[in-house]
Chains A and B, each alone.
Chain A
């Protein structure tokens, strides 16, 4: 992993059009500003990590409470 030291107000450039700037450092928290085209998705690591974890659990499906789910669909159309 490339490690760089930056001060508040300084930043780094990634590729042709992504820029990350250190906005504020306080009490162990670092606020970052990200300038990127709209086509580049930017998410906190933990959101993606939680979705991966949830997908793994969802993929491990065993038995399904079919009747409970049927009750949900009844009278409200089909998926």
Chain B
């Protein structure tokens, strides 16, 4: 499908790359279809781009890159939400908050991570029952460069 986005222009997302969030991202229930886009090949973060609202996108990251001991539980309820069969792999991403004017650290929301079933392409933002920081500092912005043009390749 072809989608008009505010950050990446018109992008082409193959059907098999579409992630479905039946409940949306919390606070954004109207967007249920997303794609994960590469910023560029080397960047350790990705974009979670809404396919229902071209202006809506989040920066996401594999939490293992900065907090290897962060290991949310995949509950039976979550597995059911994600249509997970035995042996299905559930991947976790965290949403990053980039401070305006790059003042202060980039933080990650560890309380509300995103779970993705890589086989069914069903995904959900989960509020963990155990307490985690909503603003876990990941890295200082200092020395940061302005946003560069992403290649916006949808990941299969």
Which residues of A line the B interface, CB within 8 A?
38-39, 41, 43, 47-48, 50-73, 76-79
Q: Which of B9-17, B82-90, B115-123, B145-153 has 4 or more CB atoms under 8 Å from chain A?
A: B145-153
- Binary interface profile of B, 86-118, with partner A (CB < 8 Å = 1, else 0)? 000000010111101010001001011000000
Supposing A47-B111, A55-B112, A79-B62 touch, asked if A67 and B145 sit within 8 A by C-beta, the answer is yes
B142 CB contacts on chain A under 8 angstroms: 65, 68
How far is B98's CA from A61's CA once the two chains are assembled, in angstroms?
6
B98 A56 Cβ-Cβ under 8 A: no
Which residues of B line the A interface, CB within 8 A?
25-28, 39, 42-46, 56-62, 64-66, 75-77, 80, 93, 95-98, 100, 102, 106, 109, 111-112, 125, 127, 129, 134-135, 138-148
A50 CB contacts on chain B under 8 angstroms: 111, 134
B112 CB contacts on chain A under 8 angstroms: 51, 54-55
How far is B111's CA from A77's CA once the two chains are assembled, in angstroms?
24
B59 CB contacts on chain A under 8 angstroms: 58, 61, 64
A68 CB contacts on chain B under 8 angstroms: 106, 139-144
- Among candidates B27, B62, B93, B100, residue contacting A62 with C-beta atoms closer than 8 Å: B100
